[in-house]
Amino acid sequence: MSTQTSTTDAAQPDDGRVSITVDGHVAHVLFDRPAARNAMTWAMYNGLVDACRTIEENHSIKVAVLRGAGGKAFVAGTDITQFRAFNSGEDGIAYETKIDGFIDALEALRVPSIAVVEGYAVGGGLAIANACDIRIAAEGARFGVPIARTLGNCLSAANLRRLTATLGVSWVKRMLLLAEMPTAEALAPTGYLESVVPATQLDAEVARLCERLLGHAPISMKATRETLRLIAREANPDISDLIRACYGSEDFRRAVAAFGGKAAVDWQGR
């Protein structure tokens, strides 16, 4: 098992950073600004895109795990100082467009992603966790977008679409109109979270999920994830290329030949 670590440097020490550690087939992405509950600066958003690019380019990576440093927050939104230079509504449009681009990069990853939430996943942090395929949380973790009582801004249509697709309209309205911050325990029955465990058990839960994902067919999982992403935007997208990639793969041919036997398929992703 090999370990490789890279860090996206911030322009200033208090800008925070995003680091990525590759351990075997798993990339661990860390939002590292614990003194500010990992509130995102532009440097950190750019670091997230860099981490996504690293994952795309390194084909030994098969799963991505995203987590906040310090144990107090996953990501507590966008740092408020990023807004102080805004002069008009056009700045808001530019901001939401940029955020959509960052979340798009995460949502379109070629590998399954897991968000590990401790403490708060708020605003932009909720958008990041929501864009991951699977979410696990420590007991007492809280989720929300309380902008109706804090900043008075709004979300883009794309981010509202993403949230309603996973949480449902009712929870989204409660989070945005009533500024509710539900706990992990409250959200668990909805299926939004894969599991809610004591903080001391998070590492074991991450390892369990990674092992399970690493044992499944990467091309099949990619086709499912990409199709779900496409149908969220249009009712009947053309996925001929995804179907072709699955049924034309060596993995499919070997799995069909081995079906019914006792040996597990050694998925190669080709």
Q: Where are the alpha helices (DSSP H) in 41-183?
A: 42-57, 89-107, 124-131, 157-167, 169-177
Residue 270 falls inside a structural domain: no
Residue 263 falls inside a structural domain: no
Residue 131 falls inside a structural domain: yes
Judgement on whether residues 127 and 254 belong to the same structural domain of the protein:
no
Residue 157 falls inside a structural domain: yes
Judgement on whether residues 125 and 160 belong to the same structural domain of the protein:
yes
Residue 251 falls inside a structural domain: yes
Judgement on whether residues 69 and 199 belong to the same structural domain of the protein:
yes
Residue 269 falls inside a structural domain: no
42 neighbors 91 (Cβ within 8 angstroms): no
Judgement on whether residues 157 and 248 belong to the same structural domain of the protein:
no
Residue 264 falls inside a structural domain: no
Judgement on whether residues 47 and 97 belong to the same structural domain of the protein:
yes
Judgement on whether residues 176 and 239 belong to the same structural domain of the protein:
no
Q: How far apart are CA 213 and CA 215, in angstroms?
A: 5
Judgement on whether residues 202 and 234 belong to the same structural domain of the protein:
no
Judgement on whether residues 176 and 225 belong to the same structural domain of the protein:
no
The 8-class DSSP code of residue 235 comes to S
Domain boundary among 214, 230, 247: 214
pLDDT in tens, the chain (270 residues): 455 555 554 445 588 999 999 999 999 999 999 999 999 999 999 999 999 999 999 999 999 999 999 999 999 999 998 888 899 999 999 999 999 999 999 999 999 999 999 999 999 999 999 999 999 999 999 999 999 999 999 999 999 999 999 999 999 999 999 999 999 999 999 999 999 999 999 999 999 999 999 999 999 999 999 999 899 888 889 999 999 999 999 999 999 988 877 778 889 888
Judgement on whether residues 186 and 53 belong to the same structural domain of the protein:
yes
Residue 54 sits in a domain whose CATH number is 3.90.226.10
Residue 268 falls inside a structural domain: no
The radius of gyration of the chain from alpha carbons, rounded to an integer in Å, stands at 19
- Considering its fold, how many domains does the chain have in total? 2
- CB atoms under 10 Å from CB of 230, counted, come to 15
Range of the domain at 238: 218-258
What digits encode the pLDDT tens for the residues 225-269?
A: 999 989 988 888 999 999 999 999 999 999 998 887 777 888 988
Measure CA of the first residue to CA of the last residue in the chain; give whole Å. 22
Judgement on whether residues 69 and 196 belong to the same structural domain of the protein:
yes
The 8-class DSSP code of residue 110 comes to S
Judgement on whether residues 8 and 63 belong to the same structural domain of the protein:
yes
Judgement on whether residues 89 and 223 belong to the same structural domain of the protein:
no
